[in-house]
Amino acid sequence: MPGATDVLDFSLLTDGLDAEREQGITIDVAYRYFHTAQRSFIVADCPGHEQYTRNMATGASNAELAVVLVDARKGLLPQTRRHTYICALLGIRHVLLAVNKMDLVDYDEAVYTAIAAQYRRLAQELGVSHVQCLPVAAPSGDNVSARSPRMPWYSGPSLLQLLETVDATPFRAQDFRMPVQWVNRPDQTFRGYAGTVCGGSVARGDEIVVQPGLQRARVERILGPGGEQQQASAGEAVTLCLHREVDVSRGDVIADALRPAAVADQFTCHVLWLGDAPLLPNRTYRLKVGTRTVNARVMSIKYKVDVNSQSRLAARHLDLNEVGYCTLGLDEAIAFEAYAVNRTLGGFILIDRQSHATVACGMLDFALERSSNVHWQHVDIDKAVRGASKGQQPLCLWFTGLSGAGKSTIANLVERRLHALGYHTYLLDGDNVRHGINKDLGFTPEDRVENIRRIAEVAHLMVDAGLIVLVSAISPYRSERRSARELFDEGEFLEVFVDAPLDVCEQRDPKGLYQKARAGTIRNFTGIDAPYERPESPDVHLLSAGQRAEQLAEQLCERLLALQGAGSGPV
């Protein structure tokens, strides 16, 4: 007879990391493949600990069924509720509850019945529509691949039988949708639009619309892997040829002309935060939905969800593994559907624009009404006309650097020189703005992001008015400075890095702020207990240590006058 040490440890099949085997826990998602005579399976073994929620969500994101394990000795735990909530959030409709370790409770039917009843109530509360329960003892295989004689009171199928017979058909939207992945144009005789159908079906002769625009056409040919075909259904990768030339690009959605997708640029959504750094409202990220990628920002966090209890909590940011219900704004409209209707056009990821790491996954809920009710109004007098009337090229000079580096001093000197030459200018100083439109903001990371967003929007309006705008603000984060730049047209924005070492700035300390920060009376002070992200490639780099502010201002003025195309002022 084999000894206890000869018992096969099945956990080693999926726990491949050394850390997992040492600690006896699952950390990363492990995928394993097997098949029976009835069905092929891909198993994603997901971690249960709260700190690995993002790993669990990764495994669940493409699943059609979840097997939730519960220890018969412990019953439902907070992680049981957390896992079920994530499954429901990600659209998994079928859950199998496996009440494990029945051998350690003497195969007691009452224990199993109580746990199963509690879980069914939980699943109903969280919106999981199909739940099946069974008792198992995994090491000995009881009720895993075949019915166990040790639990004669259980009359249902084994786990494997349930897996083989459960309806795991992927949820498909009813109306035809196909995000365009590639415009196939090998020569002048052929133009096709390739993608995977994510909803409904399309046939030759059907009328379609290209979204987010309104162009209509008819499907002339459908090309699949085997050649030309009459129709294509959800899940098929095909190339569509239209009866006339229309403007179609990657990221557009080809949809049923009679029942098109909705188009909007503002939404409510659930966001599961995956980044190590927190999600800060109004910071700009890249959003990928279907095959389209656009700039996006979380405009507000309505609340965050305690994934262990599903209670709603007030929040100003989201940390790693936290779920929030948010409003989302995009820089351009997209064709979309609610995640509950179409996972492809309703599910998205957020990408950090600096590191290009995926920092969140999200599920669109519905469009905000204001996104369809607010439109751009045409005006005849535009920025170019306003600038020409002033004899100048509208421009934004963005001064960034530590407190005490000399930003405001140099910006003030530059404005004086430009004003003397007859240019129309305005100086937006970070401290002055905080007495007005930013009076309600503090110095937390969230408030700093919003502070710079508002200043950038005001500067953008002033440039649109034809002015040369000088912004003097610490603006410590690269992401926000980049977002500010993107508001302006090419050549309208100059990032001016006023660079001085921290010790020099502390020696100057014109406002006594460093002394207060060192004493602890000021919190979140840039350079002391809050970071400053130095510009990597500023348009102008001014080294203010050891040089007079007047010299630096003169250097910058010479650069500006060259850009303006004159050395003496407006014509």
User: If DSSP codes are grouped into helix, strand and coil, which group holds residue 517?
Assistant: helix
Query: Averaged over 22-49, what is the pLDDT?
Result: 75
Q: What is the pLDDT of residues 513-567, one digit of tens each?
A: 888 888 888 888 988 888 999 999 999 999 998 889 999 999 999 989 888 875 4
Is residue 500 pLDDT above 60, yes or no? Answer: yes
Mean pLDDT of the chain: 88
Long-range contacts of 285-288, Cβ-Cβ distance < 8 Å, separation of 24 or more: 285/350, 285/351, 285/352, 285/353, 285/359, 285/360, 286/350, 286/351, 286/352, 286/353, 287/328, 287/330, 287/348, 287/349, 287/350, 287/351, 288/348, 288/349, 288/351
Residue given tokens 């624009």 in the structure block: 353
| Amino acid 268: pLDDT | 95
| Amino acid 354: pLDDT | 87
pLDDT band at 571 (very low <50, low <70, confident <90, very high): very low
Q: Which domains does the chain have, with CATH numbers?
A: 4-165 (3.40.50.300), 177-256 (2.40.30.10), 264-371 (2.40.30.10), 383-564 (3.40.50.300)
pLDDT band at 2 (very low <50, low <70, confident <90, very high): very low
The DSSP 8-state label assigned to residue 239 in this structure reads: E
18 HSE (CA, 13 A, CB side):
0
Nearest to 310 by CA among 46, 62, 89, 66: 89
Buried/exposed 444-472: b ≥16 CB within 10 Å, e otherwise? ebbbbbbbbbebbebbbebbbebbbbbbb
Q: What is the pLDDT of residues 70-115, one digit of tens each?
A: 999 999 998 888 889 888 888 888 899 999 999 999 999 999 999 9
Contact between residue 120 and residue 114 where contact means Cβ atoms under 8 Å apart: no
**Lowest-pLDDT range of 8-17, 256-265, 303-312, 376-385:** 8-17
Q: What is the pLDDT of residues 269-286, one digit of tens each?
A: 999 998 989 999 999 999
Name the pTM for this structure: 0.81
Q: Which two tokens stand for residue 90?
A: 């990600």
Q: How many CB atoms lie within 10 A of CB 309?
A: 12
pLDDT band at 266 (very low <50, low <70, confident <90, very high): very high
Contact between residue 567 and residue 561 where contact means Cβ atoms under 8 Å apart: yes
pLDDT band at 288 (very low <50, low <70, confident <90, very high): very high
**Lowest-pLDDT range of 4-18, 136-150, 268-282, 437-451:** 4-18
| Amino acid 402: pLDDT | 93
User: Given 158, 408, 472, 475, which residue is catalytic?
Assistant: 475
Interstrand relation of 323-336 and 237-242 (parallel, antiparallel or unpaired): unpaired
Query: Averaged over 231-237, what is the pLDDT?
Result: 93
Query: Averaged over 348-362, what is the pLDDT?
Result: 93
> Is 403 annotated in the active site?
no
Is residue 17 pLDDT above 90, yes or no? Answer: no
Q: DSSP alpha helices (H): ranges in 277-396?
A: 343-346, 369-373, 383-390
- 47 versus 237: the higher-pLDDT residue is 237
Contact between residue 68 and residue 83 where contact means Cβ atoms under 8 Å apart: yes
Sign of torsion over alpha carbons 85, 86, 90, 93: negative
Is residue 19 pLDDT above 60, yes or no? Answer: no
Is residue 570 pLDDT above 60, yes or no? Answer: no
pLDDT band at 32 (very low <50, low <70, confident <90, very high): confident
